[in-house]
Structure 1
Amino acid sequence: MIKILFFLLPFSTMVAAGEPDTVLVKRVNLDEVTIVGFKQKKPNREPLSISTLDNRFLKENEILGAKDLSSLLPNFYMPDYGSKQNSPVYIRGIGAKKDAPSVGFYVDGIPHFETSAFDIDLSDISSVEVLRGPQGTLYGRNSIGGIINVYTHSPLDYQGTRFRLGYGSYNDIRLMASNYTKVNERLGLSFSGNYHHNDGFFTNLYTGKKADKLDNGSGRIGLVWKPANRWTTRFIASYEHLNQGGYPYGLYNADNGTTEAVNYNQEGLYRRNLLTSGANVRYDGSRISFNSQTSYQYIHDKMGI
């Protein structure tokens, strides 16, 4: 056996010597590549890294805001810089603290292009979907890091009335009420409202008041209409008012690694008025799919730091 192996090895090496090494050099001729996709395709049919959180998971884990997702989703981080105005998102380490975001944020297909509009109330939400990696082919700009899709309940699929009252330390009060009504097989209406109050955790020694108090109220209305079997039209409008004390910062002492108490003579604050509305028209045929999204968003905010 040993003699045979010695004779075979030089022979095989000699035959392969005249041929190019296909491990190092490999020629592939490609025709024109056309990327075809549809945003509403089922995620399990796409070669993507996706995390989907349904309504039951969101309720069981008390997910009430976008920043709460950081502790549950891998490769996802949404830091808290002192107020909802600073709400950058990092997916796989890719993100932007200011200017144009690197991660897209959509609610029922309506884009939120300002990071100050990312941190919204997520109570009574149908599901949250996070797509990791570049999504510019289907979503365009501001999606090199990934996409966050938030979906609300459709009254044609989900009906009922819900009330919720929560109370915690520091006078943390949460109120929520919603109603989803299916008028008939083709028409559904929905209404929801949320309120959140918190006295704050940090006391400003100069003023003697809490530096990070919070009052946040929002409302949303929706209408779903199916004029024909394959057509679905959806209208949605929401408004949110936020009055938040922000930036409870203290002077950091690098020598001993301690941070002093909050003590400044002007109020840190963030106030936001956010109006979002949109209309979606969709056709699902056996051979053709059509989707049209028209939206409008108005944001007026003020920051004091």
Structure 2
Amino acid sequence: MVYSSFKHYASRIVIAAISANLCAGAVQAQTAEPSESQGESANNQLNTIVVTAQRREENLQDVPAQVSAFSADQIVDAGINSTQDFVDLVPNVALDDSFTYLNTFVVVRGVTQINNADSPIAVVVDGVPQNNQKQLNMNLFDIERIEVLRGPQGGLYGRNAIGGVINIVTREPGYEFGGQVSGSYGSGDRVNFMGSLDIPVSEHAGLRVAGNYLTSNGQIDNSFTGENVDFIDHDWELRARGAVDISENVSLDTRVSYRDFRAGAVYDTVVFSGRADDILDPFSNIEGVTFGNIFDASISLDFDLGGVTLTSISAFTDITENYRGDLDFSNPVTSPGGFLGLGFQAGQGQDLDVELYSQELRLVSDSAQPFRWIAGAFYLHTNRSLLTRAFIDLDGSRAQIDDPALRIVELSEDNSNDAYAAYVNLDYDITDELTLSASLRYDRDEREQTDLLTGNVRETSFDSWQPKATLTYNFTGDHLIYATYSTGFRSGGFNAPTVSIPVYQAEELENFEAGFKTSWANNRFILNGAIYRANSDDFQFFFIDAATASQIIGNIDDVAIWGVELEAQALVAPGLQLFGSLGTTDTDIRRNTTDPTTVGNRTPKNTTWSANLGFQYETALSDQLDLVLRSDYEHRGRRFWQVDNVDVQPPVDIVDVRVAVESQSFSVALVGENIFGEGFYTDFNPSAFSGFANPIAFRAPPARWTIEARLRF
């Protein structure tokens, strides 16, 4: 009763604060110091940040789009160690774990991630597109900056930017010896170590090496086996980044990383009550596990041609993710009737291997001119193989998947994809205050699927022109308004060879947006916002057919999406900042020939609105030590899990806190995540869309407390 009252009261506080104080917006990380000409110290102003979300360096407040950015210092202050951590601070973006260790579903302005398909948001790390869903769930260490650009950005980023762009920049190599190490210990015996080291090679060359190691006994209990299902046996990653100034006009940047992991997975639970608010521990008799690795390598070359910069980015990625687990998500005691009432228990597993090769060439003009342009070409080749098996479970062991006598389903496919693109972006300052921007990109995907069991080959292709136009009016250096028409394209593809929907169609989206970026009181208060309306053709959605152990992607013919976003940050006193965000997303299925009864409903995984509110206070304890106090409150509105809108998750409220003592060289902090232990599901599959007699659901982690220490040298 007390906690329910707190949630109700806290929600009212968030709404009142946003409405009355206009203190709404995602934390906008600020890094560049205020200029001396402004006559203000860093304690009296909010600093600004330079971002590259639009392929060239710009002040965050000059970008005519809704962008949330986090600097290196803000990443530490906010306790951002994973993709989930920063997504939780961004309006109208949600990220949910599901099924396997790397599997996530991201939702951006109502556009939803599809398993084993293209993402609705382009993810770029150090200029390299991360072209597979499994690359989004990252451990974030040694990061310089994170930028989240919302709204379709097909004109510049092409395929997968239908909802927006996440741009992550790792720390560049330094030319002096130095580094940092950190370690933490938390709930569930969670241990995390991170380190980085700058190794100067010469006056014109440097190497930075960084690593991360994570292990945990887990916190979510399997009520049947008594074991924790969300364990992390190990998750370690090594990364090396080298930079060389080959000549005065040529620079080289190389990056290599390797990640290896083994962790709990497939710990969905059967919800016999059928209610999305009935939060249960899993009770499967097969302990699920995910194991695999990711290798990345890229080479970036910049050529200064005098007024124009030519950039070449070549990249290769190899992803392996295998899983084993329960298929009936139950046990012989709880469900004696077995899998689908057939009298036996069942298990499942997949072996996924993906190889990606990409090459981009980009020309960027001098940004100081009234007419600026970007032109480029992109190529991506993908090989993706997927082996799926379902088997009779006799003893609860994962090894049964390799016994041919127990096999009830086997699907094996190989998918090949060649993607080509060319694009151009133009900016013209009509006057000192008025700027017209336009971009156009053409994307073409050629896809081929081979059924390795029958030898049958299927081929298809998808293509799209993606225009964008923005008109920006800058009243002063502190206030601008903009209006944008933008488009996005997410390629179609093949489902497994034997499923009911053999080919899912490409999704195309048109977006109309009007927004503003403002700074007030000599940069002590920042308020940004936008209103948008989008139309999606062939909206992609995902469901499971348990009878064939198949994951299926389908299309909804026509969906309307509209919403509002507000972001703000206020320096209310020296050392005290307030920040928050508000985002609404309303979706409307206007035509669905597959199931006309869903017309008028909201799309799957749609959250009606979300809000963030927080503060950070920093004060000196001595000449050498500072105290930093921070708290973040997140409210997630109702979530509609599937197209029938029958199953709805009630609102969720999450509170995080951080107390740190810091100096120039070290820090010690106590961190609490979801400190009130809010229970909810990150994925919920109703029986009508899973083939099971009851829904299956994936539980969110409980409260977590962590002690961490960091040393810089």
* Pairwise TM-score range, normalised by the shorter structure: 0.7 to 0.9
Correspondence for 1:26:
none
TM-score, reference length from structure 2: 0.36
Correspondence for 1:68:
85
Which segment is superposed worse, 196-205 or 149-158? 149-158
Task: Report whether the alignment pairs 1:42 with 2:58.
Answer: yes
Pair 1:207–1:42, CA change in 2 (3 A) = same
1:217 to 226, 236, 249: 236
Task: Report whether the alignment pairs 1:245 with 2:264.
Answer: yes
Q: Structure 2 counterpart of 1:53, which letter?
A: F
1:273 offset after TM fit, Å? 0.6
Q: How does 1:47-58 map to 2 (within 5 A)?
A: 47-58=64-75
1:233-254 alpha-carbon deviations (Å, 9 max, x no partner): 1000001011110233322132
1:261 offset after TM fit, Å? 3.3
Pair 1:255–1:139, CA change in 2 (3 A) = closer
Secondary structure in 2 matching 1:228:
coil
Task: Report whether the alignment pairs 1:104 with 2:135.
Answer: no
Q: Percent identity?
A: 25
Distance 2:81 2:54 in 1: 29
Q: 1 or 2 for the larger relative contact order (CA 8 Å, sep ≥6)?
A: 2
Correspondence for 2:164:
146
Q: Structure 2 counterpart of 1:213, which letter?
A: F
Secondary structure in 1 matching 2:188:
coil
1:165 offset after TM fit, Å? 1.0
Q: Is contact 1:253–1:259 with CA below 8 Å preserved after alignment?
A: no
Distance 1:303 1:167 in 2: 27
Secondary structure in 2 matching 1:192:
strand
Q: Structure 1 counterpart of 2:125, which letter?
A: V
Question: Which ranges in structure 1 are unaligned for 5 or more consecutive residues?
Answer: 1-36
Distance 2:81 2:297 in 1: 21
Q: Structure 2 counterpart of 1:300, which letter?
A: T
Structure number with greater Rg is 1
Count of paired positions: 269
Correspondence for 1:126:
144
Secondary structure in 2 matching 1:254:
coil
Secondary structure in 2 matching 1:175:
strand
Task: Report whether the alignment pairs 1:198 with 2:198.
Answer: no
Distance 1:95 1:39 in 2: 25
Task: Report whether the alignment pairs 1:208 with 2:188.
Answer: no
Which segment is superposed worse, 256-265 or 160-169? 256-265
Secondary structure in 1 matching 2:73:
helix
Correspondence for 1:21:
none
Pair 1:124–1:138, CA change in 2 (3 A) = same
Question: Which ranges in structure 2 are unaligned for 5 or more consecutive residues?
Answer: 1-52, 326-713
Q: Is contact 2:197–2:209 with CA below 8 Å preserved after alignment?
A: yes
Correspondence for 1:299:
319
1:183-225 alpha-carbon deviations (Å, 9 max, x no partner): 3331000111110111011222333321110121100011100
1:231 to 237, 242, 250: 250
Q: Is contact 2:128–2:313 with CA below 8 Å preserved after alignment?
A: yes
1:259 offset after TM fit, Å? 4.2
Q: Structure 1 counterpart of 2:313, which letter?
A: Q
1:91 to 108, 112, 115: 108
Pair 1:267–1:255, CA change in 2 (3 A) = closer
Pair 1:292–1:43, CA change in 2 (3 A) = farther
1:162 offset after TM fit, Å? 0.8
Pair 1:84–1:158, CA change in 2 (3 A) = farther
Secondary structure in 1 matching 2:101:
coil
Correspondence for 1:13:
none
TM-score, reference length from structure 1: 0.82
Task: Report whether the alignment pairs 1:80 with 2:97.
Answer: yes
- Between Structure 1 and Structure 2, the one with more strand by share is 2
